[in-house]
Homo-oligomer: A and B are copies of this chain.
Amino acid sequence: MTLDNGRSRGGAASMTGAAMLEDVRLVDHHCHSVVRGPLDRAGFELLATEACQAAPPGCTTLDSQLGFAVRRWCAPLLGLAPHAPADDYLAERARLGPAEVNRRLLSAANVATFLVDTGFRAGELLTPAELAAPAGSAAGEVVRLEAVAERVAEGGASAAGFAAAYADALAAATASAHAVKSVLAYRHGLAIAPEPPSAAEVRAAAGRWLRRGPGAALARLDDPVLLRHLLWAGVERGLPVQIHTGFGDSDLDLAGSDPALLTGFLRAVQGRGTPIMLLHCYPYHRQAGYLAQVFPHVYLDVGLAVNHVGARATAVIAESLELAPFHKVLYSSDAFGLPELHVLGAELFRRGLTEVLGGWVAAGSWSAPDAERVAWMIGAGNAERVYGLRG
């Protein structure tokens, strides 16, 4: 399903709207679930920004590309006119209630498979199965490497036993998972030594960490040796390793999240055969495109960015298709909390990619069949191949 109906569809050269991906059910290879309960305006505003605080007095986080895109693309799904005022939108949203809003919006995203990161605030969110239900989608799990370590620590591991306990816990946690994920960018930054730490280094670092004792001190693993150990454990596990790169919330040091900082690590793991999935990447998506071209095991998406840049999604998508081979680019929404972000991810991606590829067809640079094939690859085919979703 796409959200406007008035367009004609006369071949790729004249495509508008989301035409090129209209019939493609997307694979969202990295997202989160949505909140179960009702949201007041303050709660909604905070889920519509990467800031951790409200906007300055007299201002609203919805005066943003993302806020405008919600009013443009989601308001009609609640029965309102496009661009409905934010107050009207939130009032109608409250009147319909979270179950109905989730149902309508998640269906509209038209996603075949959600791969869901379950490692962040999962208690407030629908389960992956509940997320997938409205549109008859499939759901798979993405396991956060750091969250598994934090559970191991809370469970009372010893310094000497940490590495083995972590390996066991990771194996158990990922028994039916599709991928693992690292938030190294948030906890330390991506500038790390390329090789895995030694067993002795891991033991010493685990000792330092575990001595902090239970509770908040253990709740946030930020030791660079252990973070690096986890990343290598993820590589050894053999599932695709998703790595947060580029912007995120205010916890992050943006200059340290440039994926180019991973170059040594990427070289070191190249022989293992484990796909490395660079998530988000903005504003370093051109750097990510270079890595995806020169390293056979490196992939990228511009999820999260597409939602946040709204009307600029077309421009960012175009930039992501410069150096990266087309078999290396994937779709994700990185939606968190709001079902609106699943709609925007899918709609802005479908429309943006159609505009970009359709423009190249119209200019004679690409053939229409090539464009249709690449649109399918990025929207679904590459993820099906890398994650074995057809197996």
Contact = CB atoms under 8 A, between A and B. Distances in A.
A204 interface: no
A59 B258 contact: no
Contacts of A364: 4, 72, 82
A377 B60 CA distance: 13
Total copies of this chain within the assembly = 3
A311 B64 contact: no
Interface string A74-112: 000000001100000000000000000000000000000
Contacts of A311: 360, 363, 365-366
Contact of A263 (B255, B291, B294, B316): B255
B322 A308 contact: yes
A54 interface: yes
Interface of A: 4, 49-56, 58-61, 63-65, 68-69, 72, 82-83, 247, 249-250, 253-255, 258, 260-261, 263-264, 267, 282-283, 286-287, 290-291, 293-297, 308-312, 315-316, 318-319, 321-327, 360, 363-367, 370, 374, 377, 385
A287 B254 contact: yes
Given A250-B267, A255-B261, A318-B312, A366 B72 contact: yes
Given A56-B296, A283-B290, A247 B323 contact: yes
